[in-house]
Amino acid sequence: MQFKNFPFETILSWYKHKGRHHLPWREKQMPYHVWISEIFLQQTQVSRVEAYFARVIESFPTLEDFAKLEYNDFFPYYEWLWYYSRARNMLKTAKIIQEKYNGIFPNTYEELLLLPWIWPYTAQAILSFGYNKNILAFDTNIEKIFSRYYFGTRFKKLSQIQKEEIQKIFQTMRISWRDMNAALMDFSSLIDKNEISQIDFENYPLTESLFYQEKWKNEIKPVKTTQKFDKNEAEIVVFLHKDHKIYYSSDYDNFLPFELGQSREDHRHFIKDFFIQNYWLSISVRPAFKKLKKAGKTYFLYHAQIQAGKSQFWEFRKEDYTQYLENFY
């Protein structure tokens, strides 16, 4: 399929008046700032990241400062952002850049991809925002715009050849590539939203897109009926572990997870508060890996891992944990 030219100028014009120019990582778009913001923004809402980003940049204004940190030093600045493997890999990346590249981020796509936790999109973002290179930072949110424009639905994934064709169109534009990428990101988040019911079609600027012309009918999917669980009435069960190799038990003789009862608070916050208040342990908590009903009760099961502090619990093998789960289900 030969793509017609895409109306980049329309989105850029919208961005100049409606874009999120206040975001702190857009004030000084240096590679270090871009990298911090992009890693923090992975699977995390923009509103949450703003404060974390500001604290890190204020405390560690350069990559050289950041590269000197150890995990325990960085943890207080990162806590509550979850996904703690990201934090460890950020520290690895910073040390590599400091030692191998004299504290300067590589400015080629191939070199960036060799660094820990830098994926294709992250590399493209660093090149586009940090170095203002003519490359389109393709993530799922930006891909959605083009899928809707050319195919009428965000559920149509672009092939690599199609992405390359769009990249070629993008590179012919006589615009700020940095601003254009920011414009596409904001347009995806604020206008071209995932939920059709949240889109203001009366003021939708891409009126020539197939998505708009076909009245978004290709994106309407039948509603699936799923079993509903009342989170407020669920029993919270926590499996505390170390790298999924050692599992901590609340009982000496038998492996038992930690049963915390019910809570109307956010479960993950509740679990973290429970362990810090009762055992002086800072832990990371993953989303519930299992929700089930048993003997008239609802259970939410969580995995958690100690990030700081010393365990006071008994240790069991993974086989004990597996056997417990089998019996529990």
**What token pair was written down for 311?**
């365990």
Measured between alpha carbons, how far is residue 135 from residues 22, 100, 170, 178, 254 in Å?
23, 25, 8, 9, 57
Q: Residue 225's pLDDT is what?
A: 60
Asked whether residue 5 is domain-assigned, the answer is: no
pTM (global) more than 0.85? no
Q: Residue 222's pLDDT is what?
A: 58
Active site (annotated) includes residue 9:
no
Q: Which ranges in the chain belong to alpha helices (H)?
A: 8-18, 31-41, 46-59, 63-67, 71-78, 84-100, 109-113, 120-125, 131, 140-151, 160-171, 177-190, 210-213, 267-279, 318-328
Asked whether residue 255 is domain-assigned, the answer is: yes
Of the residues 108, 131, 154, the one at which a domain ends:
131
Q: Residue 81's pLDDT is what?
A: 73
Dihedral class, residue 216 (left if φ above 0, else alpha if ψ from -120 to 50, else beta): left
- Give the active site residue among 9, 27, 38, 143: 38
- Buried residues in 25-63 as b, exposed as e (16+ CB within 10 A): bbeebbbbbbbbbbbbbeebebeebbebbeebbeebeeb
Contact present, 262 and 232 (Cβ < 8 Å) = yes
Asked whether residue 119 is domain-assigned, the answer is: yes
Asked whether residue 183 is domain-assigned, the answer is: no
What are phi and psi for residue 321, nearest 5 degrees?
-65, -45
Q: Residue 82's pLDDT is what?
A: 67
Contacts of 231 by beta carbon, 8 Å cutoff, 6+ apart: 267, 300
Q: Residue 119's pLDDT is what?
A: 86
Asked whether residue 315 is domain-assigned, the answer is: yes
Q: Residue 255's pLDDT is what?
A: 93
Contact present, 248 and 315 (Cβ < 8 Å) = yes
Q: Residue 32's pLDDT is what?
A: 97
Domain that holds residue 60: 30-131
Dihedral class, residue 103 (left if φ above 0, else alpha if ψ from -120 to 50, else beta): left
Asked whether residue 151 is domain-assigned, the answer is: no
3-state secondary structure of 308: strand
Contact present, 135 and 124 (Cβ < 8 Å) = yes
- Return averaged pLDDT per consecutive 10 residues of the chain, 329 residues in all: 84 95 93 95 87 94 95 84 79 95 95 90 94 92 95 91 91 88 96 92 93 87 71 94 90 91 93 90 91 91 90 90 87
CATH number of the domain enclosing 68: 1.10.340.30
CA pair distance 70, 57, nearest whole angstrom: 16
Asked whether residue 251 is domain-assigned, the answer is: yes
The DSSP annotation for 50-89 comes to HHHHHHHHHH--SHHHHHT--HHHHHHHHTTS--HHHHHH
CA pair distance 258, 250, nearest whole angstrom: 6
Measured between alpha carbons, how far is residue 199 from residues 188, 190, 194, 215 in Å?
11, 9, 8, 12
3-state helix, strand, coil in the chain (%, to 5): 50, 15, 35
Of the residues 80, 102, 131, the one at which a domain ends:
131
Q: Residue 217's pLDDT is what?
A: 85
CATH number of the domain enclosing 259: 3.90.79.10
Asked whether residue 76 is domain-assigned, the answer is: yes
3-state secondary structure of 284: strand
**What token pair was written down for 26?**
């857009």
Question: Number of structural domains, the chain?
Answer: 2
Of the residues 96, 113, 131, the one at which a domain ends:
131
Contacts of 300 by beta carbon, 8 Å cutoff, 6+ apart: 229, 231, 234, 235, 236, 237, 267, 288, 290, 291
- Buried residues in 269-304 as b, exposed as e (16+ CB within 10 A): ebbbebbeeebebbbbbeebeeeeeeeeebbbbbbb
